Structure 1
Amino acid sequence: MQIRGLIKQAVAPAIAIICAGTIAHLQSAQVTAAEQQADQEITKAEALREEAQYKTNMALAQKLPSSGFDNLIANWAFLNVVQYFGDDEARSKTGYTVTPEFFEVVVNRDPLFLDMYSYLSSMVTLYGGQPQKSVAMLEQGLAEIPEAMKPEAYFLWQAKAADELLFLGQPQAARQSYEQAANWAGRSSKPGLRKVAQRSRQTAEFLATNPDSRQAQVSSWSNILMSAVDQRTQQFASSQIEALGGRVSVNDDGLMSVQLPSESEQEQRQQ
């Protein structure tokens, strides 16, 4: 046992160095490629090669041993996400085929990296066109959230509910997810989270009485709007809210608010 322990102690630093070195090499290669293409239009062939390289990098990230470097690998993968999503020219030629792999790497390596969930779930659903994969990754992450973090992680349930209601046609699954969001947010004594719990519970009630509720749909798009970190997603969510009869307003401080459609407006739109 002592020999095995000594071997483990000797090997662990080497593995850590290899992991860090591999990540640094991959990141350097991507930055160099991006710099070379910055001043010239990228061809479709080049964009597809870059897309394939992202896939290869994420496959490698899945295989790297952790050795205490899981957070580093997750952060590196998320930086890749930001770079990938920000390259509009390349994505116009390739689509967003690697988004599920990004989400999978980050959740597998650091499921408590809460800030990444809203970004990646909307990216996989809205741009990657795979809401079922988004739900699977959210479920995996939810299973790892410790009790102490649950009040702050309520929005994972809201993201799951939005996928279920708006993209998968599962209003009752969405209702259950909103109920869970209300339960988690309601555990906090913070007034803001209490309001979140109230709104989530209200949305669940809308779905319990009317699975086709426009109020519930607008509420789901509102969650996407409020958690969006890019203007494109914000604009798309706003257009969906307004198409459903909701109203988006911005105050003098730049804070957005959403007004749900009334029952009478919903009835008129259904006639």
Structure 2
Amino acid sequence: MTSLVATMALVFSCGGAIALLQQPRLQQLTDATAVLSQDDLERQIEQESLRLTLWKRLPTLGLDNLMAKWTFLTFLQYFGDDEVRQRTDYSLSPQYFEVILENDPYFWDAYLFLPGSTTMYAAKPQRTIEIMEQHLPKLSPKVPDRAYFIWRWKATDELLFLDNPEAATDSYQTAAEWATEYDTEEGQLIAEISKGTANFLRENPTSRAVQVSAWMTVYGNAFDDATRQRAVDNIRELGGEIVFDENGQVVEVRTPQD
């Protein structure tokens, strides 16, 4: 019982410490009617960057998952504040994911949001890959579940934003190998598609058809209309086409003939 009480005290004390770190942000939310100057916004960005640096170094006392989830929720708040982001930028995105994945390298959703925020919005695709490569060695085909998707997202960034088809080929190949560990319909399908993409890309490193497929991955993972439109525009520039139904759902993707 003493041990249980001590553990509970530890949880609440850590939660209190995190809450103290969050007080400036919560105050900003409650003062929603305030009109901040550009200088004020820049100072807030600097303060948030310092907080993230502190969180990265802060001992979590065994509550790594809690810190990762808390930081992810804070990131969603940061990323979703369109008005402020338009007046500043998305440059803090990679810092959030450094904290998240340092505390929980198995956080599947973090890998999903990392490319969209850091590559697409912060324009730092190399940083996306660096963060992924730091933590991918800690993963295995089934930890986290469906980890093969992480390799496919890595391949997409390498192919579209770093112009590195060789690295993308290796990532697609690894995605295929990890997906074969699953006896699910999805796993087998991803294994087949990823292996086929790797083989084709190995022989055709400048293939527009593969790039269209990669942009469809971006489209499918997008969490905002601007990213989806960017994917559509790039597909059309490559000579492909997306056909939508009357409800705006994709019904066909036409790839160019390489």
Given the two structures, how large is their TM-score scaled by the length of structure 1? 0.85
| Structure 1 counterpart of 2:239, one-letter code | G
1:83-98 residue pairs with structure 2 within 5 A? 83-98=77-92
Residue 154 of structure 1 pairs with residue 148 of structure 2? yes
For 2:213 and 2:58, the matched residues in 1 are separated by 40
Task: Report deviation, 1:124.
Answer: 0.6
Out of 110, 129, 142, the residue aligned to residue 136 of structure 2 is 142
Task: Give the secondary-structure state (helix, strand or coil) at the position aligned to 1:152.
Answer: coil
Provide the alpha-carbon RMSD of the alignment. 2.5
Residue 130 of structure 1 pairs with residue 124 of structure 2? yes
Going from structure 1 to structure 2, the CA distance change for 1:226 and 1:44 (only over 3 Å counts) comes to same
Residue 22 of structure 1 pairs with residue 24 of structure 2? no
For 1:88 and 1:30, the matched residues in 2 are separated by 16
Task: Report deviation, 1:70.
Answer: 0.8
| Structure 1 counterpart of 2:160, one-letter code | L
For 1:35 and 1:52, the matched residues in 2 are separated by 20
Task: Report deviation, 1:35.
Answer: 2.7
Task: Report deviation, 1:249.
Answer: 3.9
CA deviation map 1:187-213 (0-9, x unaligned): 211112222222222221231121111
Task: Report deviation, 1:29.
Answer: 2.4
- Structure 2: stretches of 5+ with no match in the other structure: none
For 2:53 and 2:65, the matched residues in 1 are separated by 17
- Structure 1: stretches of 5+ with no match in the other structure: 1-7, 267-271
Out of 189, 194, 203, the residue aligned to residue 195 of structure 1 is 189
CA deviation map 1:124-183 (0-9, x unaligned): 111111111101111223212234336601111111111111111111111111111111
Out of 29, 38, 41, the residue aligned to residue 34 of structure 1 is 29
Task: Give the secondary-structure state (helix, strand or coil) at the position aligned to 2:21.
Answer: helix
| Alignment coverage as a number of residue pairs | 257
For 1:171 and 1:163, the matched residues in 2 are separated by 10
For 1:143 and 1:220, the matched residues in 2 are separated by 24
Given the two structures, how large is their TM-score scaled by the length of structure 2? 0.89
Out of 158, 180, 194, the residue aligned to residue 164 of structure 1 is 158
Out of 230, 237, 246, the residue aligned to residue 236 of structure 1 is 230
Task: List structure 1 runs of 4+ shifted beyond 6 angstroms.
Answer: 8-14
